[in-house]
Amino acid sequence: MDNPLHSRMVFRVSAQNMQQDQDILAEETPVALVYNGISHVVLMATPQDLPQLARGFSLSEGIVARSSEIYDIEVHSVCDGIEVRLEIAAARFAALKERRRHLSGRTGCGLCGIDSLAAVRPAAQTVTRCGTLNPIDIQTTLLEFDRHQPLREQAGSVHAAAWVSGGKILAAFEDVGRHNALDKLIGCGSGKAWNWQQGFALISSRASYEMVAKAAAAGIGCIVAVSAPTALAVRLAENAGITLIGFARANKFTVYTHPQFIEAV
């Protein structure tokens, strides 16, 4: 259950023939996050780096305010998937029980479990900014990004999120869900006390509003997306003080919000 890849026999078909071959697929596993003994959410995720996923999700969704409010994380394989059991501060658990609802997170949907349109209204805390970003750092790390995505290289169908600081990729995480990949990155960074203002989050996916909201919750000042942002994501980033970059390539990119934090070239 903890293997992120699965091997399967397939048939390759062309105009000339059909032949048997081996293919590698990315696993998509139900992962339940259990807080102080109560299951809160089920995510469909790649079954690796699950403590980082649980920590990052807890922070980006406001279940805890800081990493120190998570006392313990244990990963258990069960018959239907994987349980990640977290022990959190009593005050945070009491608040979670107040708002608790069962939801099912899916890889392409950020609204599963939302029970009213009012609950969709986007809001993000304002990020305190300092310093600027060098466009050269963005361009050079994009050239290295592929080397940090071994699951995509073997199986495809996964997203990646990396943290870049000082012109170097410090860590990268992959998952079938783009939100999960970012949560894994946030979970890792919170444990390492990264300065979210001295660098940027590089993501292989589009920049949806949920990605911006999670970044804002963590205090990340800049998001660089390989694909496009949505209009809602741009509005949210503008209000949150986040520099949002899309269509990032090694030789060009588009700055949608707060260009004053990008150094002139």
248 assigned binding-site residue: yes
What residues pair up with 78 in beta bridges, in sequence order? Answer: 81
251 assigned binding-site residue: yes
Give the total residue count for the chain. Answer: 265
168 assigned binding-site residue: no
CA distance 26 to 154: 8
Q: Is 221 exposed, middle or buried (0-12, 13-18, 19+ CB in 10 A)?
A: buried
**Residue 109: active-site member:** yes
Q: Judge whether 175 and 52 are in contact, CB under 8 Å.
A: no
249 assigned binding-site residue: yes
Which of 125, 124, 131 lies closest to 260, judged by CA?
A: 131
Candidate list 109, 112, 130, 222, residue with the active-site label:
109
184 assigned binding-site residue: no
Q: Judge whether 180 and 45 are in contact, CB under 8 Å.
A: yes
* Residues known to be catalytic: 109
- Going by the annotation, the residues of the binding site are 247-252
